[in-house]
Amino acid sequence: MQMTPAGVLLHRSASQILRDVELVRQEVMAEGKHLTGDVIIGATPSVIAMAGAELVNRCRERLPRVRPRLLEGYSGYLQNWVLTGSVDIAIVNGLQPDSPRLVSECLAVERLFAIGPAGKFENPPSIALAELLQSPLLLPSAQNPVRGLLDAGAANLGLSVSTVLEIDSVTLLKDLVHQGLAPAVLPFGAIKHELRTGALSACPIVDPEIRSDLNLIYLADRPPTRVAAQVIELLLETLRRIVSDEPRHGFIEVRDRKNIRRKANTEP
């Protein structure tokens, strides 16, 4: 059996209505002494690798009646998941929403790193973009916001980016870098554990420094619930802990949501 197009539309709309009813129920219950409910969070692989486990542990300790559910995906997919209601909020790297239905908040700003096998980038404290671009790289496809930032940085120098392969899998990208196929460019979070174990080496890109915004996105007519807002605060606490305790963290700043300017996309 297969649903008709009308059935697909009905199912999608009904699922959204049921989710909205559940969110209202959670908001009413949150007025009590303890926050209770579910929150579905989409996040990029680098965010999951960097802060996912610690965020879950903080939620279990501080919000024991809240059940966070983390879904991993690339920024473009995450935007679509927010639009369809598959996730309540999403944390994306370098993406500015292209829909007027979405609101974006910049939670943090981080540097992009050149990634190589063990020993390749251990001694230099940084590498100039022009020097990095002298050799072909392993990079995500052009639709990836991180790739877009690198392409823009190269264009400002009058240079172009050459690739060995375009790979939209962080795991495979890191495996091929580890094997010595070519260097890559990723946010720090994506290689945090490999740097600890010495499996990979990395250094920030400079001249110019390539920066990526870590953005929270959500529907304009469905802002984060009290439960979701508390989970976001725990995420920011986690990022601040990383900045405070880890000598190499990649962050330029982690912001306070109270001072963040919320930007709704107004393009047609």
Chain mean pLDDT for the chain: 88
The dihedral of CA 76, 77, 82, 87: what is its sign? negative
123 alpha carbon, distance to own chain's centre: 28
- Predicted confidence at residue 267, as pLDDT, reads 45
User: CA 184, CA 174: separation in Å to the nearest integer?
Assistant: 8
Where, residue-wise, is CATH 3.40.190.10 in the chain? 5-109+213-264
Q: Which residue has the tokens 């962050």?
A: 251
42, amino acid identity: G
Residue ranges of the chain assigned to CATH 3.40.190.290: 110-211
Query: How far is CA 81 from each of CA 43, 72, 75, 90, 218, rounded to the nearest angstrom?
Result: 11, 11, 10, 8, 10
Per the CB < 8 A criterion, the answer to whether 105 and 99 are in contact is no
pLDDT in tens, 31-48: 444 788 999 999 999 999
> For position 20, what pLDDT does the model report?
55
| Residue 24 pLDDT grade (very low, low, confident, very high; cuts 50, 70, 90) | low
CA dihedral 197, 195, 40, 95 (to 10 degrees): -160
Query: Residue 116: what pLDDT?
Result: 96
Query: With pLDDT > 90 as the criterion, what percentage of the chain qualifies?
Result: 75
CATH number 3.10.350.10 given to 5-109+213-264: no
Q: How many residues does the chain have?
A: 268
CA distances from 252 to 58, 73, 160, 186 (A): 23, 24, 26, 15
The H or E element that residue 38 is part of is: strand 37-43
Give tens-digit pLDDT for 140-198: 998 899 999 999 999 999 999 999 999 999 999 999 999 999 999 999 999 999 999 99
Encode pLDDT of 206-247 as tens digits: 999 999 999 999 999 999 999 999 999 999 999 999 999 988
Q: At what angle do helices 226-245 and 53-62 cross, to 10 degrees?
A: 120
- In this prediction the pTM is 0.82
Topology of 110-211 in CATH?
D-Maltodextrin-Binding Protein; domain 2 (3.40.190)
Distance, CA of 112 to CA of 99 (rounded, Å)? 26
What pLDDT sits at residue 92?
Answer: 96
pLDDT at 96: 86
